[in-house]
A and B are shown apart, each in its own frame.
Chain A
Amino acid sequence: MVHQAPLIAWPVRDGSRVPFDVFTRADVFAREQEAIFRGPVWNYVALEAELPQPGDFKTSFVGDTPIVVSRAEDGSLHAFVNRCAHRGATVQRQASGNTRQHRCVYHQWCYNMRGELIGVPYRRGAGGTRGYAADFDAKDHGLAKLRVASRKGLVFATFHPATIGLEDYLDAPLLAAIDRLFARPVKVLGHMRQRVRGNWKLYAENTRDPYHAALLHGFHATFGTYRTNQKRTGGSDRARAHTTGATYGDDWRTAAQSGDVGQDKIVASYSLADPSLMEGRPDFDDGVTVAITSIFPSLVIQQIMNTLATRHIRPKAADEFELYWTYFGYAGDDEQTTAARLKQANLVGPAGLISMEDSEAIELIQRAIVRDGGENSFLEFGEVQADLDKDRQGEASIRAFWRYYATMMDPPSAPKET
C-alpha cells in the first residue's frame, strides 16, 4: 500500500486546537470532497416538500458537485450528478421544475427521471457516419447516481457504497429532533441564500457553538430573546458527528402550561416600537423556543420561535461557501400563522436580526488567517475531556466535530511509513 502522509498537522487530537490552514488550503478542500462529501456520510440535498409530484426536480449540491434530485413516476426519489455522460455539460439548467426528461442542450442526450440514458441522437449514424458501435449500451452511459434516503421528508444522498443506513447514521437523539420538527407535513415558504467568503467549516463550528449566541448576537441581549442562563438540553450521535440542542423559554413555557396555547400571544420583547414582530403561537407544547440541529457534514435544522428552516452549507472553494436556507411552515398552517412566520423571517437569514452576525464573524476569521497557517484556534471553553453530554454550554460540540473530521480526513488506521 502506498504511504499517505497525514494531510493535516494536528497539534493534539482532542479537537481543542485547529490549525488555521485547514480553512485555507486547496488540497484540504479537495480531500474533503473525496473523503467527506463523497465519503461514508449522508448529505442533505432537499426537502421532499420541494418535490411533491412525479417529475418534480430540484438542482442541489453534494459538496461542490452539482446534482439533480428528482421524483420518478412511481414516487421514488433519485439523485444523480448533473453532468452529461457524453461530454460533461450541465444537463439540467433550471433550479427546479417538473419534467419527464432531462435533456442536455449540447448534443441532446436525454435522461429520464432516474438519470438513466433514454435517448441519443443519430445513434445508428447519419450522413455517412456510422454513429455508435452496435454494442453501445445506454445502460452504461447514464448519469452518475447517488443513493438516496429520506427521513420525515428530509432527503439525503450519498456517493459512498459503504455508508451505513440513514437511521444508524443519524442515531436516536438526532432522529428524535427531526421527528419532532417534522411530525407534521411541511410547506416550503421560500429560500434565502448568502455567499460567504469563508471556509464552510467555520459555519459548521458556528452552529455547534452556544458560547457565542448571546455574545455575538446583540439582538438577543437587547431584546431579551435568548439568555445564557436559560435551560438547555441536547444530544449527539454515537460517533459525535452531529449535535442537537434545545433552549427553553420561560414565556413560551408559561403559555404552553396555561393550557390555552391557542389564545396566548407571546410577546417576548418589551422595547420594540412594533412588537408584532414577536407575535406568534408556539408550534410545540414542550416549551422549546430555539432548537438547532447540526448534522455532519452540511446540514443545520432550525426552529427559532416560529421560524423553521433547513440551512444547507454548500462549499464552493476553501475560502467560500453558499448558505442556502429553505424556510418552511406546516401544510396545515392558517393564513395568520403563515403571516407570522413570514414576519419572523426578519430574525433569520442573511438580513436576520439575530443571525446576520454569523457570516461576518466567519469572514473576519478568513481575512485574518491568510498567513500563519500552522497556528491554531483555541477551543478549551468547557472541560476539554468532559463528555459531550456533560457540557452543553461550552465548546464541546465543536471539539467533537473536529475529532470526527480529523478521523475522516486522516484515518488513524492509515499505514505508517516504514
Chain B
Amino acid sequence: MGRLGDWLDQRTGHRGLVHAALHEPVRGGARWAYVFGSALVVLFALQALTGAGLALYYSPSATDAWASVHYIQHHVWLGWLTRGLHHYGASAMVIVAGLHLLQTLWFGAYRGPRELNWLTGLALLLLVLTFALTGYLLPWDQKGYWATQVATSIIGLAPGAGDSLQRIAQGGPAYGNLTLTRFYAAHVVLLPALAAALIGAHLWLFRKHGVTTPPWMREADGEARSEPFFPRQLAMDAAFAAVLVAVLAGLAARSHGTTLEAPADPSSQYLARPEWYFLPLFQLLKYFPGKWELVGAAVLPGLALAFVAGLPFLHRYWSTRRPRAARALAWAVTAGLVATAALGVQAERDDAADPSVAKLREQAEKDAALAERLASLGVPVTGPLDLYRNDPVVWGERVYLRQCQTCHHPCSNEPYKGDPCLEGYASRAWIAKLLRHPASKYFFGNSKIDEMDPYEGDEASLRALTEFLYAQGARPDASAALAAQGEALFESEGCGACHTLDGKGGGDAPDLKGYAGAAWLSAFIRAPGSERFYGKLNKMEAFDRHELDDDEVAAVVAFLRAQAAQPVKFP
C-alpha cells in the first residue's frame, strides 16, 4: 500500500494535494458556524448523483416526460427515494445557502479583499434558484407546468425584447417539446457546468484569502488560536452533513418520494403556485397590479439583489466614516431576508384563508390520484392526457365538461340557467323528478320546451312508470315486475299520446324504446332533431363526427350511463 502510494505520489503529487486540503488553517479555531459551505458541497454532490440516477430514466418530451417520472416513482428500484432526495435536496440547498450567506455576512467575510468570494457566492445562490426553477417543470405535471408558465410570462413583461426573451426561454411561442428539451439541457448540462466552474472559483478564492478571523477577535488572537481544518472542522462538517442527509432521507421516506400531480393539461383550471422559495416573489406581484407589475416582478427584486451584491463596496465606502458600518449592513440584509420570509408566510396565509384555494387543491389531489391509477395500465404513446381514455367514464367526463357543459350546466349553479341538468341523469330519482316537474328550470324550463304535462298520478304509479323508463336503459338492477306495471301505465296514463316505443318515433316527442341506453344515447347525441327524438321541437345542437368522433361519443355515453348511479344534485 505504502509503495503503491509512493509510486502514485511521484507521478501525481496527490499527497501534497490531500495535505493542502486537510491542513488549511482555520483562524480562530474550528466552529459549527463554518459547516454550511461544506454542507453545500455535499448537497451539490447529492443533487448530481440523484440527478444522474433520474436522468437514466427521464425522457424530456411532452408525450413522455410525465410517464417517465411516473415510471421512476413506481418501477425503478428506490426510484421514489431518488426523486424524494432530489426534491428535498433542492429545498435544502436554498436553506443552507441562506445560512451560509448569513454566516458570511455576520462574520464580515464579504469585506475586501473578499469581494469576489461574495459575488461568486451570490451568483451560486442565483444558480441554485435557476436549477430549482428549471427542474420544477421537468415532470410536466400540473404543478410544474402552471408555476413555470408564470415565470416565463414574467420574462415576457420585459420592455422591448420581452417577446423574444420569452420565446428564447421557452423554446418557441408556447409550451411544448422544445420547452422541455431546453429546460432539460439547461438543468443537466449548462447549469451544472456553470455551477462547477463557479464552485471551483469560489473555493479557489476562499483558499486564497483563508478563513476570516471572527470580528470579535483581534487578528493576532485569531492567528494564535488557528488550527488545521483536519480533524476538528472536518468532523463538524461531516457530522452536520450526515445529519442533513439523514433528515432529507427521512423526509423522502415520510412522503414516499415526492408528489407527481396529474399530467400537464393546458385546458384545465389549475391553481398555479410556485415552490416555497419563490412564494415571496409571487406575493410581491399581488401588490403591483396592471402596469406596475414590472416593479414587483423585476425592479424591486433587482434593487434588493444589487444592494446585496454591492455590500463589500458599500462597506468600504462607509466604514471609513462609521466604525459600526459592518453591523448596520448585516442588520439591513438580515432584516431584508426576514421581510422576504414574511412575504412568503403572508402568501401561505392568504391561501389558507381562501376556501376556493382549498377546493382547487383538493381537486388537484383527486386528479393526481386518478392519473396515478390510470397510469398503472401504461401510458399511451400519444401522451399522458390520453391516459383518461383508459377509462371511458373518466374520458367521457372530460369530453362532457368540454363539449356538453356549455349548455348542460352544473346543477349547483345558482340561479340555474342551463338546459336539463344531467348530474344523476336517468337515475330513478332523476326520472321521477322529470315526470313530476318537466317544466322545472333543471329540466326543460330554460329550454322553453313546455309540451309535456307534469305527471300527477300517485306515488306508486310514479314508481312503476319510473322503473319502466329506467329499465329501458338495460340496467341490471331494474325490477322487471315493477317495469311491467309501468309499461301498462305508460299507455293508460296517456304517455303514448306523444311518446312512441317503436324505435322510430313520430316527431312529437322522443321515442323511448331503449331510453338512456347506450345505443339510444349515441343516436340522440348525433341527431337530437331527428323524428326519433325531438323532431321540430329540438333545441340541441347535433354533434357530428367533426365535433365528436365515435370514441368520444362512446365515452360521453359511458359517462352519462354512469350517472344513473349518482345522486341527483338539485331539489
- Whether both chains belong to one complex is answered with no
